[in-house]
Structure 1
Amino acid sequence: MLSIVLPVFNEEDNLEPLLAEIRQAAPGFGRPWEVVMVDDASTDGSLGVIQRLASAQPEVRYLAFAENRGQSAAFCAGFDAAVGEIIVTLDADGQNDPADIPKLLQLFDAGADMAIGWRLKRRDSFMKRIASRIGNGVRNRLTRETVRDTGCSLKIMRAEMARRLPRFKGMHRFLPTLMKMQGARVEEAPVNHRPRLKGVSKYGTWDRAVAGLYDLFGVRWLQKRSFLYSIREKSD
C-alpha cells in the first residue's frame, strides 16, 4: 500500500485541487493508496478543509498538531501514522506534480529503497533558485553526496526505513543522506515543477540557509559516527 504524506501549514486553497490531482494520478500507482495530511497548527482555514475532505473521502486521514512544530515534525508524524509499506512525500503547495509519482514508483519497484525527484526546470524566483543551487552544492560537498536536488519534496521511500530516521528540526532537507546511512539505495528522476498559484511561501531564503548550514554540521557528525551491523545468529 502507498501512503502519501502531506505536511500542511496555511494551504487552504491548495488542498482540494491537489487531492483531485492525486486521485487522477492514482490509476498509475498500481496499488491501494491513502493520503495522510498533517496540519501543522495552521492559522487559516486549512484544518476545516482537511476535516471536510477526510469525512467525504475514505482514502484521506489526518492529524492536527496542537502547536506549530515545523515541516520535519509533520513528516515524522505522517510516517508514524502511515498504514502503507511505501511512503510518498509531497508539498501541499501544489508545486510538486502527483502525475510524477508513477515514474518514481518504477525506480522503487526496480529495487531502489528511495526514489527522489529532481526539479529540472524550477518555477521559483531567481533568488530562491540561486540560494537552492548554492545550498545543494555546499550540502553535497560537506556530506560527500551527489544528489542533484535534495530540496524537492517529492520522494518515495520504504516506510520502515523512514521511521528509523534520526529526528531533528530540518531533517527533511537531508532525507537522501540519512537514508543512505541505513544502507539505502537511492535513485533520482527528473520531475515537473510548477509555480505556486495560491498562498504564499512559508520560508525566507536566507533564514533557511542559516538554519540549513547549522543542521549540515550535525548531519556530517552523524555520518562520521553512525554504524550498521547485521546479526549472524541469535538464541530463541
Structure 2
Amino acid sequence: MDYTFTIIVPVYNEEDNLERVEQELLSYTKIATRITKILFVNDGSSDGSQSLIEAICKRQDHFSYILFAENRGLSAAIKAGFDYVDTELVGYIDSDLQTAPEDFNKLLEHVGDYDLVTGVRADRKDKFVKNMSSKIANNIRRAFTNDGMDDTGCPLKVIKTAYAKRIPMFKGLHRFLPAMILLQNGKVIQIPVQHFPRMAGTAKFGLWNRLFGPLMDCFAYLWMKKKYINYTVSKTSA
C-alpha cells in the first residue's frame, strides 16, 4: 500500500490505554484524508505495554513498532519516529488520547501551504496546576523563540517529513518543533483541536518538567539557534 502519512505514538507505561489507542487509530485510518499507518515507539516501558503493542501490530496491518532498550524520554521517542518514517508526512499523538485522532484531518488540510501544522488545545480539560504551568511555560518559550505558537505542548502535529528529519533533536525539543521548522525557513500554523481528560494511566510530567525544565531548554534553543547551519543549494552537477 502506498502510505503517505505516518502517525508516531510514543508509549511509556501506557498498558491501560493501548487497546483504546488501537481502536481509535484504526477507526481514524478508515476516515483519514491520507493513506495512513501507525508507528508505536515504546520508550522502554516497564509494564505490559510491549506485549500489547506486539499483539496489536500482529493483528493490524497498518501498525508497526520500535522498542527502545531503555527509557530515553519523549524527545528521543519522537526523534526515533522521525528517523524511521518513510512517508511524505509524519504526525504525532500521545498515547493518553487526550487529543482526538480525527482532528488530524483538520491539520492535514493545511499541509499544502505549511510545513508544520500544530494543534491548539481548545477548552483544555486538565487540572488547574497543569493548565497554569503549561500556560506559563508557553509564554516563556514564546518570548525566547518568537514562534508565535500558543500551545507547542499540544500532542497533535503534522510535519512534512523532509523538515522533520532535519531537526537536530535534544532532550525537551518536542516543545520547540515549530521553532525548529522556522529555523529551516519553513512555515508553521496552529489550528484549534479538541481536548479530553485522561481516561486511564498516569501523567508522566510534573511541575518540574512542565515549567522549570522548559525554561532551561530555552537557553539550549538559543545556543542552537546561534549555531544552526542552514543553506539552500542553487545548482548541482549531480
Is TM more than 0.5 here?
A: yes
CA shift digits 1:83-134 (9 cap, x unpaired) = 211001000011111010100000113x111110000111111000000110
SS in 1 for 2:80: helix
SS in 2 for 1:172: helix
Residue 206 (structure 1) shift: 2.5
Q: Tell me, yes or no, if the aligned pair for 1:29 and 1:105 is still in contact at 8 Å.
A: no
- Stretch moving more, 11-20 or 226-235: 226-235
Q: Tell me, yes or no, if the aligned pair for 1:33 and 1:84 is still in contact at 8 Å.
A: no
Aligned to 1:67: 70
- Stretch moving more, 154-163 or 24-33: 24-33
**Structure 1: 4+ residue segments shifted above 6 A:** none
Aligned to 1:162: 164
Aligned to 1:15: 18
The one-letter code sitting in structure 2 at the alignment partner of 1:134 is I
State, as a whole percentage, how many aligned pairs show the same letter: 39
Aligned to 1:206: 208
CA distance in 1, matches of 2:63, 2:149: 32
Residue 232 (structure 1) shift: 2.4
Residue 182 (structure 1) shift: 0.7
The answer to whether the aligner puts 1:24 opposite 2:27 as a matched pair is yes
Residue 142 (structure 1) shift: 1.3
Aligned to 2:37: 34
CA distance in 1, matches of 2:80, 2:118: 20
The answer to whether the aligner puts 1:87 opposite 2:90 as a matched pair is yes
What TM-score, normalized to structure 1? 0.95
Aligned to 1:3: 6
CA distance in 2, matches of 1:68, 1:7: 11
Aligned to 1:98: 101
Q: Tell me, yes or no, if the aligned pair for 2:163 and 2:181 is still in contact at 8 Å.
A: yes
CA shift digits 1:182-230 (9 cap, x unpaired) = 1111111100011001000011112432221111111122223334322
SS in 2 for 1:107: coil
What TM-score, normalized to structure 2? 0.95
Listed as ranges, the gaps of 5+ residues in structure 1 are: none
Matches within 5 A, 1:136-175: 136-175=138-177
The one-letter code sitting in structure 2 at the alignment partner of 1:170 is G
SS in 2 for 1:61: strand
Residue 31 (structure 1) shift: 2.5
Q: Tell me, yes or no, if the aligned pair for 1:139 and 1:216 is still in contact at 8 Å.
A: yes
CA distance in 2, matches of 1:235, 1:194: 53
Aligned to 1:44: 47
SS in 2 for 1:180: helix
Listed as ranges, the gaps of 5+ residues in structure 2 are: none
